[in-house]
Chains A and B, each alone.
Chain A
Amino acid sequence: SAVISQKPSRDICQRGTSLTIQCQVDSQVTMMFWYRQQPGQSLTLIATANQGSEATYESGFVIDKFPISRPNLTFSTLTVSNMSPEDSSIYLCSAAGTGDRSYGYTFGSGTRLTVV
């Protein structure tokens, strides 16, 4: 399965600023996803990053707050905009090929974000 490099691994940011998280996959993948994991909670899907088109957002998440780019089949970014302390969380990207079942769903190592 694919290997994902996610960065930064952690950051401490001031409220009102924005942070862009990058995920680079070592091979072309059809699907990429962005999740959030708040302390003590499970993973919540933010959006599906579509190559060459706008991301598909889940209920409760909007493009203005979490703009996503996916310029090609190996790279995606998630920006957390106008941050507030409530955005403090772990953000994870995931990638899968359409031919894969779960063994194809690789995760990045996560970005631990603290907003102060």
Chain B
Amino acid sequence: RKEVEQDPGPFNVPEGATVAFNCTYSNSASQSFFWYRQDCRKEPKLLMSVYSSGNEDGRFTAQLNRASQYISLLIRDSKLSDSATYLCVVNEANTGRRALTFGSGTRLQVQP
């Protein structure tokens, strides 16, 4: 079983749509959680951290359910520029001492 599992997609949505991605992780010792974005042929870049209380950054909302070991990302009012692969990422530590564990990514294609 993979440590971090995501639906690979692709999710093809029209501009303006709301889309949600889900992720589950197997290591109950995981301490910190993130969504990264990776554009084609580029390195991953942090989109947002995920907190138990849920957090929002503009059109993006991330939620964490520790009991279910489940993480979600909601994108509202999708833009063409949101087209990318979204990586669910977990870390066993709260600091930089451990490497990040990546899910396989969910590909989003926003269409005009």
Contacts and interface: CB of A to CB of B under 8 A. Distances in A.
A41 B43 contact: no
A105 B96 contact: yes
Interface residues of B, number: 23
26 contacts: A31-B96, A31-B97, A33-B99, A41-B104, A42-B87, A42-B103, A43-B44, A44-B102, A92-B43, A92-B44, A96-B97, A98-B97, A99-B95, A100-B95, A101-B91, A101-B94, A102-B34, A102-B46, A102-B49, A103-B46, A105-B100, A107-B43, A107-B44, A108-B43, A109-B42, A109-B43
Choose among A42, A48, A99 the residue with the greatest number of B CB atoms under 10 Å from its CB.
Answer: A42
B32 interface: yes
Interface in B67-103: 87, 89, 91, 94-97, 99-103
Contact of A42 (B43, B46, B94, B105): B105
Interface residues of A, number: 28
A45 interface: yes
A98 B95 contact: yes
B63 to A, nearest CB: 16
Contacts of A108: 43
Contacts, number: 65
B66 interface: no
A31 B42 CA distance: 22
Interface of B is mostly: loop
B59 interface: no
B99 A94 contact: yes
Given A30-B96, A102-B100, 12 more contacts: A29-B96, A33-B99, A43-B44, A92-B44, A94-B99, A98-B95, A99-B96, A102-B32, A102-B34, A102-B49, A103-B49, A107-B44
Nearest to B2: A42
